Every structure is written in structure tokens, then in C-alpha cells.
Structure 1
Amino acid sequence: MTVRATPVAGPEAAREVRKDLGAARAALARAAGAEPAAGSPSDALRDLRAAFLGTHVEAVYAELTDRHARPLRLDELCRAAAAAFPGLLPTAEQLAADRALAQEAKAGHEIDQGLFLGRVLGSPVAGPHLLDAMRRPTGRALELLADFRRTGTLDLGTVRLERADGAARITMTRDDCLNAEDDRQVDDMETAVDLALLDPEVRVGLVRGGVMSHHRYRGRRVFSAGINLKALHAGDISLVDFLLRRETGYIQKLVRGLVVDDGPAWRPAVVEKPWVAAVDAFAIGGGCQLLLAVDHVIAEEDSYVSLPATQEGIVPGVSNLRLTRATGARLARQIILGGRRLHASEPQARTLLDEVVPSEDMDGAVDRALKSLQGDAVVANRRMLNLSEEPPEEFRRYLAAFALQQALRLYSEDVIGKVGRFTARGGGPGDG
């Protein structure tokens, strides 16, 4: 298939774009139809998809979103693209068949989702629109909002949300697996963050781990063991609904807030609030990533943080973008590339941790931090700090590369090869 760029200017040019897009769409569908139904897509087909998107990604996105009038989340966009452009993305049937398999047995169709979403995010036109769509409140949160506002408490399953004294306290409650995250917890966390941001009685938020029943930490609070490795190797960690949704959903909302439709057009249609994280025991992998998205971090003095994603074979979310800003380049490489644990007692840990206190002082430190961040000018100033430290365009360009790189890592030989080793050591959760 030959693809060519057509400038969009006026009705005649628009007709040419539609004609070119239609011809390219037909050629892509024919090529995909010639592929065997089973197994991974060939490099030739992926080359064709990449060429198609290289020329037409903005026209494709405009068609799927009714010229940007309809915000679609990542999963909705992928489903719409698979239906409207046969051969561009795996079908629902292909994904369902893959989802039933262990990671080592999957065909790798998520790589094509990573290719597609990476090209969308790489577009300076489509990418910001998609990221704003991911910052809108979820339907689940909107359904639960009235109940939460009335009661001030909500148990979402893996997360508990409570409101008191102007603060929303989000407690991760996966007590059996040390708060190791999976698709379900990502959904619960996004719902909780949405509710905290939507409730006008909330001025500040807290993220903390609950008390564990796991035999190694029974009766003790734990912040997070990161990604659930057992779920990853069982094939239950998805690219779209976990790895990409996590970064563009609730973590992006922690940093940049919710996009809403309320208020006059001249004011930013955003709801933002400051956030505190309290680290008990450890913040591993995804737990450490959360610390880079909040405004104040308190840690008990015998805790530690780490980002062992390189040892696991994956990319630690947006940490490669954010950690250098916090720690400096050399220490960031030691943590990400070398797997260094940073103990709260080390002087260098203060690049990530604002306060280090004895275990018995954690509750008091949390209360003081929540009170200190409720000032009237806090939100405006954190917005300007975030714009300076991580411009939205820089974040978007990073995610464009991350979408494909993380997809490739999920299906790399070294990650697949860890399945046996992981199973042999008992399948314990979250070292990552």
C-alpha cells in the first residue's frame, strides 16, 4: 500500500483526504485479511499499520471522535478504531482469546494497541484531546458521587475512601498482597481520586496503605508493592486497562486534576487539589511512582523506596521522566537501571521524601500535612509549579514513546522467561 500526505485546506482538499483515507483503509483491511487468523501479526502488516498511521492518524482520530466533539477513553478509542478501520487493531474476539491465556502464550496483539495509541499521543492535535478525555470523571465515579457526598465514606473493594475535616483519605486495602496493583485496583483508585476531586467539601487528598493480613507484614500498614507480578505473568495485566490507563487516568489526575464542563468558558475547566502520600514499610515500583505525582511525602523512618522495573523487564511508568527532576540524573540511573533501594534513613532519600518520622509519629505528621495544604492559594501555586516542572507537551511526547515501548516489553523474551522463575518462588506479589 502506498500512503501519501494530503494537506487539509478547503472542501476540495477535504474530499481528497477522505478519498486517500478510504483507499488506504481498504488496502489495510485486505492485508490484514490475508494474515493467518492465529498467531502474532507479521512485521509486514505492522509496517503497513505504521505507514497508515504515519499519514492518517489525525484523520482517523477526527473520524472516531466526531471531529473532537466526542471524548473517548483509551479502551473506547481502541474499540472504535478496531470497528471503523478493520485490520488496524485487534478485534474484540482476538483480545478476548488472548486475555484467557498466560502472558507467555499470548499472540501479542497488544503491541498493535501500543503502536496505535503511541501514534495518537504523538500527534500534537489528537494527543492532547485524548489526554484530556482521560482526565474526565469516570462514569462509575459520577454514579457514586451523590452517595459519597451524603455519607463521606465509601468502600470500593480494593480501596476505601473517607472524608473528614476537609481531607479525602484514600486507603489501599489489598491486605492479602501488600497492595500490589492489578486492573481492578487501578479502576478503584481512579474512582476514588475522581470522587475526592469532585466533592466540594474536600480540599486536600491523602494516599496511604492499609493494615495487612499478609503473613510477612500482618498487622502493619504497607504502602504498595507495585505491580502484581502474579497477575502480570498470568496474563491479567493489560496494556490499555492497566499500564496506560494508570498513567493517563488517576495518576495524571493527581498531577493535573479533572477536566470538567462546569463554569464559564474563559476559566480553566479543571478541578485540582493538593495530595499527600504516607509511606509505611515501603513504596516499591508503582508505589514509588505515586510519590512523584503528589505534593508532600511522609515516610516512616525504617521504610524504603525502589523502582525495580528494569529487573522485571518493564518500564516504570512515567518515572523515567519524573525521577531525574527529583533526584538528579546519577541517582535516578542507580534507582531505575541498577535497582538501588533508597532507605528513608539515607540523606539522598530526602530528594523524594519531605518528612521522615518514627512509626508512632506517622498519624500526627499526616494530620499536620493535610492541614498545611488547605490554604486558599495552594491550588493555583501547585498548578504553576506543575506547569513549570512537567509541561503537558513534554508529558504527551513521553507517553507517545512509552505506549509502544511498554507494549514491546510485555512480550519480550526476558519478561516471558521470568514466568517460570516467578512461579518457582511461589508467586508472591509485588516486588515491582
Structure 2
Amino acid sequence: MKLDDTLQEWRARDLAFSRDPKHDSLLLADFLAAGEGILAALPTKQDRSAAELELASNVHGLSRDARRLFLSLHAEWLYDLLTCQCSLPKRIAELAYEAAGACPGLVPTRAQIEQESKLPQKYKEAREIDQGLLFQSWLAIPRVALHLMRSMLLPTARALGLLERFEKDGVIELDTVVLCHRDNAGHITFHNTACLNAEDNLFVEDLETAVDLVLLSQSIKVGVMRGGIMTHPRYAGHRVFSAGINLKHLNGGKISFVDFLLRREFGFINKLLRGLRPVHAAASDRGPFLDFQKPWLAAVDTFAIGGGAQLLLAFDRVLAAEGSYVTLPAAQEGIVPGFSNLRLTRAVGARMARQILLFGRKLWAGEVDARFVIDEVVNAASMEEAIARNVADLSAPAVIANRHMLNISEEPIETTIHYAADFAFVQAIRLYSEDVLNKTRFAR
């Protein structure tokens, strides 16, 4: 039988879901396995003809429709199954792969994702879109979304394991980040220097670890982030805050939807705004855990592009060297710049947010409009003094309580959740859109 005939036969199958999730998960698994059989009979994506590419697209589309229907009925049941009725905190990656075991075919397994990570982005089957569909479904359920957000505010096991050493030595050197305790501050310096501090999976892992350590340390009052001195030929000897997402890694298929694009938003950026939830906190405990919050200061040298600019919107104070700039070229890159679409409008207003996000406008330190993102412009030679002065101001006893009240006023967790639900799926789609795949082929 030809594959086209097999597709038509499969398409005609009656996927009659009941209200019984166990029955429906078996029915879904059987249906999706038939679709996988069609895909397995095709050549690998890079060797497919135009007709074979269209057939594979149809298989993915029909499979996704089935997953969407299942989740519309049973997303809440699945989350409760994995978390024991929201009593167990679990991280995003853990949930994604446990869901693959609980409902075969609903989302890719860890082995499937690991296999795809070996391929360039343009040759993947785009299975991460199914992860986006799963998290969109969960985040659309308020109590599930709230539990997930709070679970991601727990400190990582890696940070807890390093805490005693950090408190003793006052320094932790990770692969892409260095954390140093000086005076009242925890100084996080980005050291992904060969690629202008571009963000990748490892950078997100290291940065969340460093943020956790700053928030866990009882002797640190303020967190500081700054770019390290570059080895990149164009900026050798100069500090750079961040060049945003590593487009070479994206092109090479090394940027993870779960471990990068979701983790950075729900992990360390969420923690910058809301602090940590202590390990002993009950799953239903709202906090606010002021002892596990800190004010945050960013020091921008040269530029903060893309993801680097996104970070600034979560800081309490932003310093920038004269001649530096901030930009969010997400529309040109083809992806959504994290939660910046939510925060930038609040910071600069709707018109300017569109100029920045849709047209790539740069904000230069010192120009009038930059005051909505940058608090203080300093001479590069005076940056260390400016950091110390601002750390002293942010160390005042009432700062934490007041920044907490500001944050829940400006961005209550319910607002974040409402945005996050659509973000999860839209970003997954953009990650595999043809324009993104074409652009990343030419990444520097």
C-alpha cells in the first residue's frame, strides 16, 4: 500500500474520545503510533522530496489535532496525575518527560529530544511544538499554572549543593558565569566571552544556579549582573553585557525549547522578580518569603541585545556606560523575545514598544527615551564606583519589601500566567517557522 493511501486510511479512523482519561490515553497512543509508522517509512527530513515533506506535514498536523483534542479533555487530569493533585513540586523538564511516559505519544520522550538535538534545526521533526501545546494547555488552567510557577521558584538541587562552598569561599566559577561575594553584593559576571555572552542551554543552567546562590546567601543583600571582558576579536578587551540568544546554537539545533526558552522565563528571570520559595514551603503556601528576595542591579557595557535586553526589564536598577545601547531585534530574528512583550509596554509605552519589538529600534544610553529602561548613564571608567554607590542604596532595609509590593502591583503572577499560556505555544511554533530556519542558517 502506498503511503498516501495509508495516510488516507489513518485520517479516516474514528478517534472517539470518551471522558475516561485512561481509556482515551490508550486510544490516543494507538492513533499516534500509526502516524509515527508513516513517518518512519519516510526518508529522513533532509532527504525527503517535496511530496514526502507535505505528507509528513499532514501527519504532524493530524497528530497535533488529536493531541489538542485530548488535552482539551484531560490536561488537568494529567497534571494532577504527575504532581499528586498539585502536592508535589516539579520542574518543567521533569513534567515534560514524565508526561511522555504517562501518555505515550502526547509529547516527545527524552530519547527523541536527545536524538533531535543532534540535528540542525531545519532537519528536525519539530517535536518540541508538542511540548509547547502541552504547556499551553496546562498554563490555561489557573490552579495548575500557579502550582507550576511556584514550583519553578524553588532553588535548584545544583545550587543547594554548591551553597556551603560558596558561603565558605565567596566565589563560584561555573562554565559561563562567575559569582563573587564582595561586600554586601553577589556579583554575577557573564563569561560566555567567545560569543559575546550569547545565551545557550549551558548559560541558562549556570545563570539560574548563580541567581539561586545569591538569593540563598544570608550575607548578600543585593545581586549584581555585568558582562565580562571579551575574547571575541571585534570586542577583545571590552566588556559586553549580552548578545542575546546564540543563533549558531539555534541553527545547529542546540537551543532547547524546554531547557532554554521555557526555563529562562519560569526559572531565573521569574526568580529575579519574585525571589525563591524555600524548600520547606508547602505547595499551597503563597509566601511572600521576603527573606528569599533581593534587589537586582544590572551594569551594561557596550550593548545588551535580545535576551540581554530582556533581562533588564526584570531589574530594579540599570546602569549603562556612555555610548552603549539596548535593542530587542526579535522580529528580525523571527522569535518572541520571552516575556518582553508583556513588560516592555509597561516600561516604555505601547508606541515605543512597537518601534523596538517590530522595527528593531535601538535605545542609546543618554537619549531621552532610554530613561524608561536605563536609570543612570555613567562614564565607563566610573562604572565600578557607580555600582558600589547603587549597591549601598539598594541595601537599605525597606528596599526588599517595597520592591516586592511594586512587583506584585506591576506584574501580579496572574498576569504573568495569562501571558505565559499563549507564549508557550507561539514560541514553539516560531522556533520551527520557515523564516526562522532560513535566517539562522546565516547566523554569525
Query: TM-score normalised to the size of structure 2?
Result: 0.90
1:253 aligns with 2:274: no
Query: Which AA in structure 1 matches 2:424?
Result: A
The CA deviation at 1:165 is: 1.2
Q: What is aligned with 1:212? A: 230
**Structure 1 position 2, deviation (Å):** 3.9
Shift of 1:261: 3.7
Q: How many Å apart are 1:70 and its aligned residue? A: 1.5
* C-alpha separation in 2, matches of 1:137 and 1:295: 21
Does the 8 A contact of 1:288 with 1:306 survive in 2? Answer: yes
| 1:216-257 deviations in Å (ceiling 9; x for gaps) | 111111100000111110100010000110000000000111
In 1: Cα distance, 2:425 partner to 2:137 partner = 9
Deviates more, 1:87-96 or 1:297-306: 87-96
Partner of 1:36: 36
Counterpart CA distance in 2 for 1:185 and 1:126 is 28
**Residue identity opposite 1:414 in structure 2:** D
Question: Which of residues 399, 404, 426 in structure 1 aligns to 2:425?
Answer: 404
Match for residue 81 of structure 1 among 95, 99, 123: 99
Superposed CA offset, 1:320-367 (max 9, x none):
000000001111000000011111121100010000111111111111
Matched letter for residue 219 of structure 1: G
Give 5+ residue unaligned stretches, structure 1: 6-19, 423-427
The letter of the residue matching 1:303 is S
SS in 1 for 2:150: helix
> Structure 1: which amino acid aligns with 2:359?
G
Give the % identical residues. 51
1:284-310 CA distance string (max 9 Å, x none): 000000100010000011000000011
Aligned with 1:170: secondary structure? strand
Distance across 2 between alignment mates of 1:164 and 1:119? 44
* Between structures 1 and 2, the one with greater helix share: 2
Gapped regions of structure 2 (runs ≥ 5): 1-14, 40-55
Q: Give the match for residue 323 of structure 1.
A: 344
Selected match of 2:442 from 421, 424, 431? 421
Residues 226 and 286 in structure 1, CA contact (< 8 A), matched pair in contact too: yes
The amino acid that maps onto 2:386 is A
1:47 equivalent to 2:65? Answer: yes
Tell me the residue number matched to 1:10: none
1:290 equivalent to 2:308? Answer no
Aligned residue among 383, 402, 407 for 2:404: 383
Do structure 1's residue 344 and structure 2's residue 365 form an aligned pair? yes
Which residue pairs with 1:242 in the alignment? 260
Whether the aligned pair in 2 keeps the contact of 1:261 and 1:269 (CA below 8 Å) is no
State whether structure 2 residue 325 is matched by structure 1 residue 304: yes
1:138 pairs with 132, 156, 164, which one? 156
Aligned mates of 2:229, 2:110 — CA distance in 1: 39
Distance (Å, rounded) in 1 between the aligned partners of 2:200 and 2:176: 10
Match of 2:288 in 1: 268
| Aligned equivalent of 1:167, options 181, 185, 190 | 185
1:206·1:276 contact (CA, 8 Å) conserved in 2?
yes
Measured against aligned partners, the alpha-carbon deviations of 1:59-109 in whole angstroms (never above 9, x if no partner) come to 110001111121111110011000011121112232122111000100000
Question: Matched residue of 1:227: which SS?
Answer: coil
Is 2:298 the counterpart of 1:277?
Answer: yes
- Cα distance in 1 for partners of 2:109, 2:221 equals 43
Which residue is equivalent to 1:56? 74
State the Cα deviation string for residues 13-68 of structure 1 (Å, max 9, x = none).
xxxxxxx1112111111111111343565212211111111121111100011111
Structure-1 separation of matches of 2:177 and 2:133: 32
What is the root-mean-square deviation in Å for CA atoms of aligned residues?
Answer: 1.5
1:147 counterpart SS class: helix
